[in-house]
Amino acid sequence: MNTHIRHDLDLLHTSLLTGKLPRNLSWADTVDLIGQIGDVKPHGSDEFVFTVGAQRAFFKHPHTHELGVEEVARLRKFLRDAGPALSPVEATQPCRMVVVIDHHAAHVYQDLNGKVPEAEETVRPYDPFGFHHHLIHKKEAHYKGERVPEEKSFYEEVAKDLLPANEIVLIGHGTGKSSAVDHLVEYLKENHHDISRHVIAIETADLSALTPPEIEAIAKRHMITVV
C-alpha cells in the first residue's frame, strides 16, 4: 500500500478489509481510495477499471453516487484478493453478529472478539460479545402495533450491517407471516444469498423481557468460541 495514503482512506481501507462495512460508501471516496493504493482508469461512458496489485476489476459509476450493498461486498472481495494478506489470527477470527428483530425495530450486535474497547474505562463484567455496550445499529420500523414491517428498506438496512459477518444468529418473536425475523430470513434468501448462508441459528424469544446477558447466552449456544 502507498505509505502516504490519507488517514481517512487508510481507515476506510482497513474497514473494508477486516471491519464493519461502511453503511454509506460514496463513489468519490471509493475512487480516491483505489487511486491511492492502485490505479483507476475509465472504461466506456460509466465504467471504470480498478487495479490493485495483480487484481483487476470493473466497477460502474452508481446512479445514486453511493455504492449499493452488493457492490460494497464485491469491493471488499476485490481488496482482499489484492492484499495485503491477513495474519493467520485475523484470517481465522470470525465476525459474529446477532440480530434481535420485532415489529418495531431491529437491533444488530457485533462480537468484538472478546476484547474490551480501548475507550472503555469503566470496569464491567466480562462481555465477550460486546452486547452491553456495542449496539452497532438500531433500525426503527415505520409501522405501529403488531404489524410486520413490509418496507424493503427496513430489511435492507439490516442486511448492510450483516455484510461482514460469517456467523449470524437471528432472534425474533413469533413465527410465520406475523414474524419479522421470518420476513428477514426470506429477504436475505431472496436478495442476499451470500449473507443468508452465514445464518447459523434462528431463535424465538419474548423480546420484551430479553436482557443482554440472555442474548449473549443464546449466541454462545450456537457460535464458535474463540480462545
- Structural domains of the chain, with CATH: 7-85 (no CATH), 93-222 (3.30.420.60)
pLDDT above 80 for 21: no
Nine cell digits for residue 204: 424465538
**pLDDT tens digits, 43-97:** 888 899 999 888 899 999 998 889 988 899 899 989 988 876 444 444 445 678 8
pLDDT above 60 for 116: no
Q: Is the pTM of this model over 0.85?
A: no
- Tell me, what's the pLDDT at 148? 55
